[in-house]
A and B are shown apart, each in its own frame.
Chain A
Amino acid sequence: MTKDQMSELELYDYWPYHSRPKIRWPGGAKLAFWVAPNIEFYELNPPPNPFRKAWPHPFPAVPGYSIRDYGNRVGHQRQMALLDKYGIRGSISLSAALCDHHPEIIEMCLERNWEFFSHGIYNTRYTYGLSEADERAMIEDSIQTIERATGCKPAGYLAPALSHSEQTIDLFAEAGGLYTCDLFHDDQPTPVCTRSGSKFVSIPYSLELNDTIAYVVQKMEPRRYAQTIMRAFDQLLAEGDESGTVMCIPTHNYQVSCPHRIKAFEEALAYITGHSDVWVTTGREIAEYYLDHYYDDAQIFIKGESQ
């Protein structure tokens, strides 16, 4: 393997989108579709991180804090009812402290056999400025907290507030994780190189289809967001004919669950789930299926190409 074929930080090999081994999802599906509700807890008064401010406003940051609290008080049940209606199990990107603050939400998700993956302890606690030992302890705390609350060890990780260190992915793999949502380099699962050499994959999450990016950064109108989702779906389904693709919609209950936005989101979900050839699933199931059926071949293929 030559270094110039690797990403920086040597996370993954360069692997062009054509001529890859063909992926078929269970039942012959061409596209694996998953929805990842971020269920987060933001603190009103977190300790100041030296590299990133938690809130744009001085304490108490009522605007930012209160709308995120709305997500848990109001939005969660609204999105959950919608996902129930379309037969979608959420894959929750979970601030582990929510197990302590709002166990009722965890219970509702458990009743539906939703997946929980780790999103750190709080979304107001960043990886920046942590020693490796502190970051490892934070990741292990999140894993143990989620396992204790749900009976199942989380398989996936999305770093809190997308804050990373050079070791983040290594540390999660060493803690026994199977997949990361932190890499946005591909529309298919790909092997990720970790220092322990464990079998570990990247599962496509999406920043482009993330409701907070759409509504807060891109300032989309609700029906443009729905149109964006449906266009991405059409393209990825068509490409999945050649080799299976993955599509994720990451959501936040303080964004997509607002009453003026959920109708447009419903139109997109109705469109997607109205198609055959789609595997409506969870992040963990995609990761496990890929690891069981395609990971080894992919590694052989990548190593072969690089020689």
Chain B
Amino acid sequence: MTTDLTQYPRRRYGMDHDRYDWSMLQDREPVTWPGDKPLALWINISLQHFSLSGEEPQVVVPGALTMPYPDLRHYTLRDYGNRIGIYRVLKEIERTKAEVSFAINGALCERYPALIQTLATLPFEWLGHSWDMLSIQAGDLASDKEADWIRRTIAALERAGQRPIKGWLSPGRIQTDNTPELLALAGLEYHCDWVNDELPYRFRTHHEDLICLPSCLELDDVFVLTQNLHSEDSFEEQIYDAANTLISEARAFKSGRLLCLNFHPWLIGQPHRILTLRRILNNLLRDRANDIWNASPSQIIAASKC
């Protein structure tokens, strides 16, 4: 008896879905970054609000509250990032003149306007990061609810930031089947959730195409330090190994490569970890300045001509 376990209706050339075309990185048209630098560097800082409410999200993302209500230990440790950690991170950014982006939960505009006003004084790009860390876009979440989170987040960020919101990073890099359509309908240009590439590429929706600028989960500070439980020194070494690999490849293939880093102030902004961020920024932005083009996500997408 043959069951659907041995039927393969989408066994065909290319992908088993229609979101994007199949292609291998090295087979594409070469990319040239400004100044002919081999490596583009996107540094994103995620600013997050973990609600104390005790509500269970559909998917529990890393860093989420885990204890019975009121989970003060995790709530306050995450809140630390918005009170202390971010200001340490901002000092390092200022000191090294780094170009970064901020992915921001919309709720922070209402909850901590002083923080958002500080961020608004800086010339960096902002990305929507859903309403808060309970607003997880996953599974059978109702489309109108998801659309409301997206709309409210964009409106709050644009009002507070006085800059257009063009990109989206979903908490946990998770999406529903509707997310790409809803992001396109909201007028966004790119998302960063599909971690399947090292250059931006075109992503289809039923409306306008989006660009996917793939963020790097595997070098995200939360992933390396809290899920893999690697040391801070190994985290740093992994970033340098990645930069070296990508720079050599860019030279070998005469095409720019991209390194994406993502930091969370509640983690990297701890006093025993900020040195790691300082060293990473010094290494990439000073010691390797000749090889690295540090840019905003929109600049990287524009230069990639995808």
A residues adjacent to B (C-beta < 8 A): 41, 43-45, 47, 49, 57-60, 62-63, 65-67, 69-70, 72-74, 76-78, 97, 100-105, 121-122, 125, 129-131, 133-134, 137-138, 215, 219, 221-223, 258-264
Contact = CB atoms under 8 A, between A and B. Distances in A.
30 contacts: A44-B17, A45-B10, A47-B5, A57-B59, A58-B58, A60-B175, A60-B177, A62-B174, A62-B194, A63-B195, A67-B195, A69-B194, A70-B196, A73-B24, A74-B24, A74-B198, A76-B24, A101-B12, A104-B24, A130-B3, A131-B1, A134-B2, A134-B6, A219-B229, A221-B231, A222-B238, A223-B234, A260-B218, A260-B239, A261-B238
Given A62-B173, A63-B174, 10 more contacts: A45-B16, A67-B218, A74-B25, A77-B25, A97-B8, A101-B22, A121-B8, A137-B6, A258-B218, A259-B198
B133 to A, nearest CB: 16
A45 B238 CA distance: 33
Interface stretch (B47-55, B89-97, B118-126, B240-248): B240-248
Given A57-B138, A67-B218, A97-B8, A223 B237 contact: yes
B162 interface: no
Given A43-B16, A134-B6, A104 B172 contact: no
B272 interface: no
A66 B16 contact: no
B246 A138 contact: no
Contacts of B193: 62, 66
Nearest to B243: A259
A130 B6 contact: yes
Contacts of A258: 218, 242
A63 B217 contact: yes
Contact of A259 (B5, B59, B197, B245): B245
B24 A63 contact: no
B5 A101 contact: no
Contacts of B230: 219, 221
Contact of A66 (B8, B139, B194, B238): B194
B228 A67 contact: no
A130 B5 contact: yes
A111 to B, nearest CB: 14
Determine the interface band of chain B, counting residues with CB < 8 A from chain A.
Answer: 35 or more
B196 A66 contact: yes
Which interface residue of A45, A74, A103, A222 has the most chain B CB atoms within 10 A?
A: A74
B6 A138 contact: yes
B219 interface: yes
Given A60-B175, A63-B172, A260-B219, A73 B2 contact: no
B15 to A, nearest CB: 7
B69 interface: no
Contacts of B244: 263
Interface in B231-289: 231, 234, 237-239, 241-246, 249, 259
B14 interface: yes
Given A58-B139, A59-B177, A100 B6 contact: no
B224 to A, nearest CB: 9
Interface string B1-38: 11111111011111111000011111100000000000
Which interface residue of B4, B217, B238 has the most chain A CB atoms within 10 A?
A: B238
Contact of A134 (B5, B231, B246): B5
B201 to A, nearest CB: 9
B140 interface: yes
Nearest to A100: B11
Contacts of B26: 77
Contact of B197 (A57, A73, A101): A73
Contact of A100 (B7, B12, B139): B12
A259 B195 contact: no
Contacts of A261: 238, 241
B174 A78 contact: no
Contacts of A60: 175-177
Interface string B212-232: 001001110000000111110
Contacts of B249: 78, 259
A58 to B, nearest CB: 3
A195 to B, nearest CB: 22
Nearest to A71: B196
Contacts of B198: 70, 74, 259
A47 B25 contact: no
Nearest to B194: A66
Contact of B246 (A101, A130, A259): A259
Nearest to B195: A66
A104 B12 CA distance: 13
A52 to B, nearest CB: 11
Nearest to B234: A221
Nearest to B7: A47
Nearest to B173: A63
Contact of B175 (A62, A73, A138): A62
B90 to A, nearest CB: 26
A122 B10 CA distance: 11
Which interface residue of A74, A101, A260 has the most chain B CB atoms within 10 A?
A: A260
B177 A49 contact: no
Contacts of B58: 58
A239 to B, nearest CB: 31
A161 to B, nearest CB: 13
Contacts of B23: 73
Interface in B142-201: 172-177, 193-198
Nearest to A49: B5
B139 A73 contact: no
Contacts of A66: 173, 193-196, 214
